[in-house]
Amino acid sequence: MSYQALVDELNALLRLKTTVTAMKLFERVEDMAAIPKIRRPKAIHTTDQVVSMGSRLGWTVGVTADDLAGAQCRAVIGLSAQDDEWLSGKPYVGVWHETADDARARQEALSVVPFGKYKAMAVSPLASGRLDPPDICLVYATPGQMIILINGLQYRNYKRFDWSVVGETACADSWGRALKTGEPSLSLPCFAERRYGGVPDEEMLMALSPAHLRIAVEGMKALAKNGLRYPIAPYGIQNDVRAGLGVSYGN
């Protein structure tokens, strides 16, 4: 299945408002720069902004560590060292955390790509196929859309997902963890993602590999045949529930 076909099926199932975005890390800057129609920043940005250039504007954008603001953005995607200075979390004391111990504990809790292998990162609409294959796909969705996506992932070969919330720097819960582990990773986009990346209040973020996205789509198609699909139509809080349950469970 082509990336365009995969995105078309996903959009038909979930009616997404935001462009499904691909992300890829590069060991050589030259390989990133060779991507067709790649844009290079003319200003300093957060990774949240760069991701939203793909998901909100439909751009293909490539960055190196020099294009990103601060060590936090660079470290999560493995473009700068996660050294003692970074682990201290000093800039966040008195801002996001009361004490230096609190700030360090948050830094140590982040899921990050190990430093040393990668020199660049790019994002692009998945359907464009310019990042082939991408490391991960980013799906922004409402909670109602997201639970159906999760149900699709769990339709066959069920497993429980245990996701965590680091708070600020929630990109470590999504693309940081997915890049590091290869597993589907759900996050509640944080203050910075919403302020600088323009993520609206109602959206959550799932980062997952193309293979996992295909599994989710196939699972959602099976669920839809069973009448379990998005949008989820309210049944009515005062109605006799047995008629509705009987359609699915036969009782």
Say what the pTM is: 0.95
> Does the structure show a pLDDT above 80 at 250?
no
The whole-angstrom separation of Cα 228 and Cα 222 is 9
For the chain, the C-alpha Rg in angstroms (whole number) is 19
Question: Where residue 251 falls among pLDDT bands split at 50, 70, 90?
Answer: low
Mean per-residue pLDDT over the chain, rounded: 96
Q: Residue 111 has what pLDDT?
A: 98
pLDDT in tens, 97-124: 999 999 999 999 999 999 999 999 999 9
The whole-angstrom separation of Cα 151 and Cα 20 is 19
pLDDT in tens, 205-221: 999 999 999 999 999 99
pLDDT in tens, 46-72: 999 999 999 999 999 999 999 999 899
Residues 6+ apart with CB under 8 A from 102: 93
pLDDT in tens, 174-202: 999 999 999 999 999 999 999 999 999 99
User: Do 110 and 180 meet the contact criterion of CB atoms below 8 Å apart?
Assistant: no
The whole-angstrom separation of Cα 105 and Cα 177 is 17
The whole-angstrom separation of Cα 230 and Cα 147 is 9
Q: Residue 249 has what pLDDT?
A: 85
Mean pLDDT of the 144-165 span? 98
Mean pLDDT of the 72-91 span? 97
User: Pairing state of beta strands 61-63 and 21-26?
Assistant: unpaired
Q: Which of 240, 74, 38, 99 is nearest to 169 (CA)?
A: 74
User: Do 198 and 56 meet the contact criterion of CB atoms below 8 Å apart?
Assistant: yes
